Amino acid sequence: MQSCFVYSSPIGNLVPVHDGQKLVRIFLPGGEHWELPYPCESVCSPMQQQITGWLDKYFSGGQPAIWALPLPLQGTAFQNVVWNILTQIPYGKVVSYGAVAQAVARQLRKPVISARAVGNAVGTNPVPIVIPCHRVVGVKGDLTGFSAGLQNKIRLLRCEGISLSSAGKVPAGYFTDLNR
């Protein structure tokens, strides 16, 4: 049985959903609209404590390990490859959709993968923040695409100490190489 709880964060109320064993989904403010089919917990379960501890550490400037939470990653084979690559983006750094596409192509031993296909997979990430899809930007630092809205993407990047240029772009100094 899945259940949820409300977590008050600097970007607004998040609603993590879990099944008692693993984190299943995180709904962000401004994201897709939903009617929760799960009961929100009134008692703090061990799984809720684990998720809350992880989020507390993240929002206080810590760098919690992504895999410190049990995650399902139940997508297509392609989505799982993309999401696993996103877990390699260090805290406080960004990569472009094109760089993720190149990393996916290398892993799948394909000559090329479309950045648009990667963008679609990034947009279906069920556990944003934990799998850091907010760290993926346009090749020139443009803030493109985020299922919970660009304002939340900006807030999350700022939580990680990333400053935007006066043009609203991520400066080159924050980019990292996925080939390392």
Please state, in angstroms and as integers, the Cα–Cα distance from residue 167 to each residue in 51, 141, 164, 171, following that order.
Answer: 35, 10, 8, 10
Nearest-angstrom CA–CA distance, 117 and 123: 10
At residue 27's C-alpha, the angle toward residues 23 and 33, to 5°, is 145
Which helix (H) or strand (E) covers residue 136, if one does? strand 136-137
Which helix (H) or strand (E) covers residue 103, if one does? helix 97-108
Phi, psi for residue 82 in degrees, rounded to 5: -60, -50
Nearest-angstrom CA–CA distance, 127 and 115: 21
40 has catalytic annotation: no
Of residues 4, 40, 133, 159, which has the active-site annotation?
Answer: 133
Coil, helix or strand at residue 46: helix
* Residues annotated as part of the active site: 133
